[in-house]
Chains A and B, each alone.
Chain A
Amino acid sequence: MFIRKTVEFFTSLKLTVTLLAFAIVLVFVGTLAQVDEGLYQAQSHYFRHWVVVGMHLLGRNIPIIFPGGYLIGTLLLVNLVAAHIYRFEFTRKKIGIYLAHLGVILLLVGQLATDMLAREMQMHFDEGQTRAYAESATDYELIFQNGDEVTLIPAKLLKASDELKIDSLPFAIHVKAFWKNSDLNFRAPMTQNGPPLTTNGIATSFDFVSTPETKTMDERNVPTAVIELLPPNGLTGDWVVSGWAGDDSLVEAIRNNYAGQVGPQMAQDIASKLGTMQTVTIGGKQFSFALRPVRYYEPFSLTLLKATHTVYPGTDIPKDFRSRVLLQNPRAGEKREVEISMNHPLRYNGLTFYQYQMDAGQVAQQAGRTPSSVLTVVRNPSWLTPYIGCAMVGAGLLIQFLMHLTKFVSRQQKK
Chain B
Amino acid sequence: MKKIFQKWFPPVLAVVMAVWFFGNLQPPKDKDFAFNQFGQLPVVADGRLKPMDSLARDSLLEIRQVQMLDLEPWKEWYVNHKTISADEWLANVTMNPAVADEWPVFVVANPDLVSLLKLPEMNKTNSDGEHYSWNQIQPSLDTLEKENDRVEKIDSASRTAYENAIAKLHERLMLYAQLKNTIQPADADNWPAELASFEQSIPDGIAAAKAQQAGQAYNKTNFDAFAYNISRFQFMANLEPPLILPPDGTTEWRRTGDALLDAPHGKPLDNFTHDYAKMAGALAANDPEQFNSALADLRSQLVPTQSRALAKSRAEVFFNQMEPFYNAMVIYILAGLLAIFSWFNLSESLRRSAVWLVWLAFFIHTTGLIYRMVLEGRPPVTNLYSSAIFIGWGACLLGIILEKFHRNGIGVVASSGIGFITLIIAHHLALEGDTMEMMRAVLDTNFWLATHVVCVTVGYASTFVAGFLALIYIVRGVFTKTLDEATGKSLARMIYGIVCFATLFSFVGTVLGGIWADQSWGRFWGWDPKENGALIIVLWNALILHARWGGMIRERGLVNCAIIGNIVTSWSWFGVNMLGIGLHSYGFTDAAFFWLMSFVASQIAFIILGLLPPKYWRSLRDKTPA
With A314-B253, A386-B511, A390-B511 known as contacts, the answer to whether A13 contacts B539 (CB < 8 A) is: no
B441 touches A320 (CB 8 A): yes
Residues 358-415 of A contacting B (Cβ, < 8 Å):
376-378, 380, 383, 386-387, 389-390, 393-394, 397-398, 400-401, 404-405, 408-409, 412
Task: Kindly list chain A residues whose C-beta atoms are within 8 Å of the C-beta of B535.
Answer: 27
* Nearest CB in chain B to that of A31: its residue: B532
Give the residues in chain A near B405, CB-CB below 8 Å. Answer: 408-409, 412
Q: Does B4 sit within 8 A of A, measured CB to CB?
A: no
Binds A, one of B76-84, B93-101, B496-504, B594-602: B496-504
Asked whether A43 is an interface residue with its Cβ less than 8 Å from the other chain, the reply is yes
Q: Say whether B504 contacts A401, CB under 8 Å.
A: yes
B543 pairs with A21, CB closer than 8 A: yes
Known: A314-B47, A390-B511, A404-B500. A32 touches B528 (CB 8 A): no
Residue contact B253 to A34, C-beta cutoff 8 Å: no
Task: Enumerate A12-45 residues with CB–CB distance to B below 8 Å.
Answer: 12-14, 16-17, 20-21, 23-24, 27-28, 30-32, 34-35, 39, 42-43
Query: Which residue of A has the minimal Cβ distance to B242?
Result: A314
In angstroms, Cα B404 to Cα A412, docked, is: 10
Closest approach, in angstroms, between the C-beta of B455 and any C-beta of chain A? 9
Total number of B residues with any Cβ neighbor in A under 8 Å: 65
Closest A residue, CB atoms, query B541 = A20
The one of A20, A378, A394, A409 in contact with B539, judged by C-beta atoms closer than 8 angstroms, is: A20
Are A27 and B532 closer than 8 Å at their CB atoms?
yes
B581 beta carbon closer than 8 Å to chain A = yes
Tell which of A319, A397, A408 touches B444, judged by Cβ atoms closer than 8 Å.
A319
Q: Which residues on B sit within 8 Å (CB–CB) of A343?
A: 442, 444-445, 448, 516, 519-520
Q: Are B522 and A352 in contact (CB under 8 A)?
A: yes
Nearest chain A residue, comparing its CB with the CB of B571: A28
Residue of B nearest to A353 (CB): B522
Which one, B103-111, B146-154, B163-171, B545-553, is touching chain A?
Answer: B545-553
Query: B520 near A320 (CB under 8 angstroms)?
Result: no
Closest to B540 in A: A24
Which residues of chain B are within 8 angstroms of A412 by Cβ–Cβ distance? 405
Is B46 part of the binding interface, using a Cβ–Cβ cutoff of 8 Å? yes
Decide if B529 touches A17 in the complex (CB within 8 Å).
no
B507-A321 in contact (CB<8A): no
A313 contacts B by Cβ under 8 Å: yes
Shortest C-beta distance, A2 to chain B (Å), equals 23
User: CA of A27 to CA of B576 in the docked complex: distance in angstroms?
Assistant: 12
Within 8 Å by CB of A39, from B445, B527, B552, lies B527
Contact call B543/A17, Cβ cutoff below 8 A = yes
Known: A386-B524, A394-B507, A404-B497. A23 touches B539 (CB 8 A): yes
Complex interface bits, B383-417 against A, C-beta within 8 A gives 1, otherwise 0: 00000000000000000000001000000000000
Q: B44 and A313: CB pair below 8 A?
A: yes
B252 at the interface (CB under 8 A from A): yes
Q: Is A233 an interface residue (CB 8 A)?
A: no
Counting chain A CB atoms within 10 Å of each CB, which of B252, B440, B445, B539 scores highest? B539
- Determine if B230 is an interface residue (Cβ-Cβ < 8 Å): no
Q: Are B507 and A13 in contact (CB under 8 A)?
A: no
Instruction: Tell whether B206 is near chain A: CB-to-CB under 8 Å.
Output: no
B521 CB–A CB distance under 8 Å: yes
Instruction: Write out the residue numbers on chain B whose beta carbons fall within 8 Å of the beta carbon of A342.
Output: 441-442, 444-445, 520
Q: Are the CB atoms of A312 and B438 closer together than 8 Å?
A: yes
Given contacts A320-B441, A390-B515, contact A120 B523 (CB under 8 A): yes
B542 at the interface (CB under 8 A from A): yes
Are B511 and A393 in contact (CB-based, < 8 A)? yes
Nearest opposing residue in chain B for A405, CB measure: B497
The answer to whether A317 touches B438 (Cβ under 8 A) is yes
Q: Is A99 an interface residue (CB 8 A)?
A: no
Say yes or no: is A217 at the interface (Cβ < 8 Å to chain B): yes
A4 to chain B, nearest CB (A): 18
Quick check: B547 and A389 within 8 Å, CB to CB? no
Closest residue of chain B to A415 (Cβ to Cβ) is B405
Q: Does A230 contact B (CB under 8 A)?
A: no
Among B243, B519, B528, the residue within 8 A (CB) of A345 is B519
Nearest CB in chain A: distance from B402 CB, A: 11
**Is the pair A17, B536 in contact by a Cβ cutoff of 8 Å?**
no
B582 touches A (CB below 8 Å)? yes
Interchain nearest-CB distance for B366 vs A (Å): 23
B428 sits at the interface (CB 8 A): no
Partner pick for A13 among B448, B552, B582, CB 8 A cutoff: B552
Q: Is B45 an interface residue (CB 8 A)?
A: yes
Residues of A within 8 A of B526 (CB): 39, 43
B583-626 contacts to A, CB under 8 A, are 583
Q: Are B532 and A30 in contact (CB under 8 A)?
A: yes
A47 at the interface (CB under 8 A from B): yes
Asked if B520 and A17 sit within 8 Å, CB to CB, the answer is: no
Nearest CB on A from B94, distance (A): 16
Which B residue's beta carbon lies closest to that of A402? B504
The answer to whether the Cβ of A318 comes within 8 Å of any Cβ in the partner chain is yes
B514 an interface residue at 8 Å Cβ cutoff? yes
Chain A minimum-CB-distance residue to B48: A312
A343–B516 alpha-carbon span in the complex (Å): 8
In the complex, whether A114 has a CB less than 8 A from a CB of chain B is: yes
Choose one: A313, A320, A389, A400; the contact of B252 (CB below 8 Å).
A313
B243-A35 in contact (CB<8A): no
Name the residue of chain A whose CB is nearest to the CB of B525.
A111
Using CB atoms, name the residue of chain A closest to B511: A390
Q: Which of A181-228 contact B (CB under 8 A)?
A: 216-217
Query: Nearest chain-A residue to B241 (Cβ)?
Result: A314
Q: Residue of B at shortest CB range from A118?
A: B523
Question: What residues of B have a CB within 8 angstroms of the CB of A319 in the complex?
Answer: 47, 438, 441, 444
A107 to B523, CA, bound (A): 14
A28, A118, A318, A378: the one contacting B441 at CB < 8 Å is A318
Interchain CB contact under 8 A, B582 and A34: yes
A10 neighbours in B (Cβ, 8 Å): none
B255 within 8 A of A: yes
B72 within 8 A of A: no
B533 within 8 A of A: yes
CB of A300, distance to nearest CB on chain B (Å): 18
Report chain A residues within 8 Å CB of B521: 354, 376
Query: Are B536 and A28 in touch, CB under 8 angstroms?
Result: yes
How far does the alpha carbon of A27 sit from the alpha carbon of B440 in the complex, in Å?
28
A168 within 8 A of partner (CB)? no
Q: Residue of A at shortest CB range from B580?
A: A35
Kindly state the separation between the CA atoms of A59 and B536 in the bound complex, as whole angstroms.
23
* B15 within 8 Å of A (CB atoms): no
CA–CA, A273 and B518, complex, Å: 40
Contacting residues, chain B, for A405 (C-beta < 8 A) = 497
- What's the nearest-Cβ distance from chain A to residue B494, in Å? 10
Q: Which residues of A contact B529 (CB under 8 A)?
A: 31, 34
Does any Cβ of B come within 8 Å of A315's Cβ?
A: yes
Q: Within 8 Å CB of A107, what residues of B?
A: 511
- Is B424 part of the contact surface with A, judged by Cβ < 8 Å? no
Assembled-state Cα–Cα distance A20/B397 (Å): 30
Ordered by A's residue number, 21 sampled pairs between the chains whose C-beta atoms are within 8 Å are A12-B550, A16-B550, A17-B552, A20-B546, A31-B533, A34-B527, A107-B511, A118-B523, A312-B47, A314-B47, A314-B253, A317-B438, A317-B440, A319-B444, A377-B522, A383-B524, A386-B511, A386-B518, A389-B511, A393-B508, A397-B507
Q: Which B residues are within 8 Å of any A CB, using their own CB?
A: 44-48, 240, 242-243, 252-253, 255, 405, 437-438, 440-442, 444-445, 448, 497, 500-501, 503-504, 507-508, 511-512, 514-516, 518-529, 532-533, 535-536, 539-540, 542-543, 546-547, 549-550, 552, 568, 571, 576, 579-583
Q: Which chain A residues have a beta carbon within 8 Å of chain B's beta carbons?
A: 12-14, 16-17, 20-21, 23-24, 27-28, 30-32, 34-35, 39, 42-43, 47, 107, 111, 114, 118, 120, 216-217, 311-315, 317-321, 342-343, 345, 352, 354, 376-378, 380, 383, 386-387, 389-390, 393-394, 397-398, 400-401, 404-405, 408-409, 412
